[in-house]
Amino acid sequence: MKLILLEEKELKFLPDDVILGIYRDITKTLLEERVMNTFSKQQILEIYLNQSFLGRGTVGVGAAAQRYFGKSVQNLELHEAAYIAGLLQAPSSYDPIRKPEKALERRNSVIGRMIEHGSIDRKTGEQAKMKPIGSVPVADGAK
């Protein structure tokens, strides 16, 4: 299928891949508009956090809290919640078993951003950075 455009009194044919790209962009824009008109920002964030892959076969922050720390989200300490938040970017890159140094660095980066944004005070953040990640052993044969 070719799309015909009238440009400067001249008919032009666009390649299929360009048409497909335009179609995807329009579809994405319409979907974004529908989502924004249906849900609050808080609801969108909640949906996102509950459907995000967080490593080791875990989907959602609740499952990640159980998998990595053996507790519910409500019972996470600051340093644990910051670790889970850091997983959103690249779960396998910050695996606490395979890459403990990178996991700690990422967690501390998240805490640093929380300090910068005023979500927590500097003293609380620095205390949280001093704690080990402290994840529970993962029972999926991890190496």
Domains and CATH numbers, the chain: 52-130 (1.10.3810.10)
Does 140 score more than 70 pLDDT? Answer: no
- For residue 6 the two structure tokens come to 């009238």
Cβ neighbours for 91, distance < 8 A, ≥ 6 positions apart? 53, 54, 55, 56
Dihedral sign (CA 47, 48, 49, 51): positive
- Does the pTM surpass 0.85? The reply is no
Instruction: Find the mean pLDDT for residues 58-72.
Output: 94
Torsion of CA 62, 51, 114, 105, to 10 degrees: 80
pLDDT tens track for 73-131: 999 999 999 999 999 999 999 998 889 899 999 999 999 999 999 999 999 999 999 99
Per residue in 9-60, pLDDT (tens digit) is 555 677 788 878 888 999 999 999 999 999 999 999 999 999 999 999 999 9
Q: Cβ distance 62 to 72 under 8 Å?
A: yes
Mean pLDDT of the chain: 87
What pLDDT is attached to residue 127? Answer: 97
CA distances from 87 to 6, 21, 62, 120, 141 (A): 48, 30, 13, 20, 20
Give the Cα separation of 108 and 128 in Å (integer): 8
Structure confidence at residue 136 (pLDDT): 64
